[in-house]
Every structure is written in structure tokens, then in C-alpha cells.
């Protein structure tokens, strides 16, 4: 019966395949050859199939044996992973990290960070939330996320009093329109009066009040910023985007940058911060993420694509 299958039997099966014989496997697992042979015979009886063809001098795996061997390797691998994870948690390692990231974060830098995290902490689980403008810090404040990667926490200082924040870089923002948009043909700086007759596409969020920093009367608010990117490309309006998300479009001439006098240079760069609650203990995995964010997020190449934007005057 399957309920009587043991890990010891599975390890012996794998050892036979890896060493090439029952004799070598017995030496490898430090058991008598008769014990190995008995374990395999018992395993065959338990699962009801022959694992080895014994018609020749040297037994070889049957087709069923090959299939069971693959399952045995999978089971043993998962057991080893469980043991490693349990040892890590006993030593203070987190079993899982919940990470809330603003959509303003450069995606390629984030992926590099998580790839290194996977290699550094292979047994630590991860829950990743990529949130609308304002959503990531709220998850950290509510305790639903251990760490956040957000923009401009200083703009909402009272909300960030219970949290530590670590500067990890910044994202450049650029106003853009499609190449055949009426604003694209203007070669001088654009004043607010120049924008009034042209629809502005702006972000919106369930986590924040309605968008206030409007330069025109005709405004469409779009929560999904990837969709808003496509709407700008389709000529439905103009808007601001992180430069890394539209770099390929600017280079190809599909979009053109707009020089808007009403937007000072300092408003067109969003500082990025790692945040976590002061009263939350940082285990080794969470601390590593905080320490490594600047290396991967702060140095992200400008061509990395993520169709996102922070809301001016709010916290991304």
C-alpha cells in the first residue's frame, strides 16, 4: 500500500540509479546490500509494480521504474527544501516576505533584485504586490506587507512617522504626446494656456483622493497605467510617464517629450524609498532586500520598460 512507502526506500532507489548498482548504492547509503535489496522489493510490493528488470545479470529500471524514480527525486527534493526552510526559520530566517512595490519602480531593476534574492534565500517564500499610486505604503502601514518600495514619502510625512525610510534612487518623469499630436509640433516651452484645449491623461487610485494637480479642464483618469500608456500612444491625450517606461517610444519617434513651463524640474523626478514599520523586526531576508534595493533599483537603466507614473503631489 502507498501509505507504507518510506523516504528511506525512495532514497535507496535514487542511490541505485546514481551509483549504477545495488552494491554501490548500499555502500553509498551505508547499509548492507541485503537491506537495500529488501527495501526495493518491499517498495515494489507496496506500489504494485516492478521497478527493476532482473532477467539479466545486472538489474535495470523498467519503464515503471523510471517513472517512479522521477517521482522519488521530486519527493526527496521537496523534503530537503522543507528541512532547509525549517532550519532557516529556527535560526531566525523568515518563512516568507511580503513586498509591496509602487508601479513607479523600474521593472527590470526589480526583477534583478528578486533574482538575486532567490539565489541568496532559496527557501524563503515571496508575496509581491505591484500597487497603484498610493497603494504600496498603505499595505505597509496596515501590516499587510513587510516592506515597501515607494516614491516621495516626505510628501505625506505624518503617515510615515511609524516607518523607517531608506533612499534607494529616483525615477525621472517626462511629459509626452504622440508624434502627430498638436502639442508635439510646438517648439517653445508650453504654458498652461497652451495645454487647455488638449486632453490630459492622468493616474487615479482607490487609495488616494481624486487627482488634483490638473493643468487642463479636460482630464481622463485611468487607474491602469499600462493602459494609459497605450492611450497616449493612440493619441487620446498627453500625459507624464517615467522616462524608463517610454524610452523606446521616444527613441523610435512614436512619442515626443513636451517642455512644460508649469512643471518645474524638481517635480519631474520622483525619489524612491524602501520603507518598513519601525516596530517590525527585520529578519535576514527583509534586511537584505532593504540593503540591496539601492544597488538594483537606483541604478536601473533608462531603457527599462514599466508603463507607470506617480501622481504629482501624492505618494506613489
pLDDT digits (tens, 9 = 90+) for 70-115: 999 988 888 876 766 666 566 566 889 999 998 888 888 999 999 9
Residue 78's φ and ψ, nearest 5 degrees, are -65, -35
Please classify residue 309 by burial: count the beta carbons closer than 10 Å to its beta carbon, then call 0-12 exposed, 13-18 middle and 19+ buried: buried
pLDDT of 316 reads 39
Q: Which helix (H) or strand (E) element contains residue 99? A: strand 96-102
Least confident of 77-81, 232-236, 300-304: 300-304
Per-residue pLDDT of 118-161, as tens digits, reads: 999 988 899 999 988 778 888 998 889 999 999 875 445 555 56
- Domain map (residue ranges) of the chain: 2-90, 96-170+269-297, 172-266
Class of domain 172-266: alpha beta
**DSSP structural state of residue 190:** B
Residue 314 has pLDDT above 50, yes or no: no
**Element of type H or E holding 215:** none
Q: Is the pLDDT of residue 26 over 50?
A: yes
Which pLDDT belongs to residue 157? 52
Residue 313: pLDDT band (50, 70, 90) is very low
Q: Which fold has domain 2-90?
A: Arc Repressor Mutant, subunit A (1.10.10)
| Percent above pLDDT 90 for the chain | 28
List phi, psi (to 5°) of 219.
-125, 130
pTM over 0.85: no
Give the Cα-Cα-Cα angle 66, 72, 76 (nearest 5 degrees). 150
CATH class of residue range 96-170+269-297: alpha beta
| Confidence at 310, pLDDT banded by 50, 70, 90 | very low
- Compute the average pLDDT of residues 282-308: 70
**Common-topology check for domains 2-90 and 172-266:** no
Taking only the tens place, the pLDDT of each residue in 261-273 is: 867 666 678 889 9
pLDDT score of 236 more than 70: yes
Helices within 30-144 (DSSP H only): 33-47, 63-90, 107-120, 135-141
Amino acid at each position: 500500500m502507498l501509505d507504507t512507502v518510506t523516504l528511506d526506500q525512495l532514497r535507496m532507489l535514487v542511490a541505485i540509479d546514481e551509483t549504477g548498482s545495488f552494491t554501490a548504492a548500499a555502500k553509498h547509503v551505508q547499509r548492507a546490500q541485503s537491506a537495500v535489496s529488501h527495501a526495493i522489493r518491499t517498495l515494489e510490493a507496496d506500489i504494485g509494480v516492478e521497478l527493476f528488470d532482473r532477467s539479466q545479470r545486472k538489474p535495470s529500471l523498467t519503464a515503471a521504474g523510471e517513472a517512479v524514480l522521477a517521482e522519488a527525486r521530486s519527493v526527496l527534493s521537496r523534503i530537503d527544501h522543507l528541512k532547509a526552510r525549517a532550519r532557516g526559520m529556527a535560526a531566525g530566517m523568515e518563512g516568507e516576505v511580503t513586498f509591496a512595490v509602487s508601479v513607479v519602480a523600474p521593472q527590470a531593476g526589480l526583477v534583478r533584485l528578486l533574482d538575486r534574492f532567490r539565489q541568496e534565500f532559496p527557501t524563503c517564500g515571496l508575496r509581491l504586490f505591484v500597487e497603484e499610486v498610493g497603494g504600496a505604503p498603505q499595505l505597509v502601514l496596515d501590516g499587510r506587507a513587510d516592506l515597501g518600495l515607494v516614491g516621495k514619502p516626505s510628501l505625506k510625512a505624518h503617515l510615515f512617522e511609524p516607518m523607517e525610510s531608506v533612499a534607494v534612487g529616483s525615477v525621472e518623469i517626462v511629459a509626452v504626446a504622440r508624434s502627430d499630436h498638436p502639442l508635439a509640433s510646438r517648439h517653445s516651452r508650453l504654458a498652461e494656456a497652451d495645454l487647455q484645449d488638449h486632453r490630459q491623461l492622468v493616474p487615479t487610485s482607490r487609495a488616494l483622493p481624486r487627482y488634483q494637480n490638473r493643468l487642463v479642464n479636460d482630464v481622463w483618469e485611468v487607474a491602469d497605467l499600462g493602459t494609459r500608456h497605450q492611450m497616449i500612444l493612440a493619441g487620446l491625450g498627453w500625459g507624464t510617464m517615467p522616462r524608463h517606461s517610454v524610452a523606446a517610444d521616444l527613441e523610435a519617434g512614436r512619442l515626443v517629450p513636451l517642455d512644460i513651463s508649469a512643471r518645474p524640474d524638481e517635480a519631474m523626478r520622483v525619489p524612491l524609498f524602501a520603507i518598513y514599520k519601525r516596530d517590525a523586526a527585520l529578519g535576514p531576508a527583509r534586511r537584505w532586500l532593504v540593503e540591496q534595493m539601492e544597488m538594483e533599483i537606483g541604478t536601473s537603466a533608462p531603457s527599462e520598460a514599466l508603463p507607470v507614473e506617480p501622481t504629482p503631489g501624492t505618494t506613489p
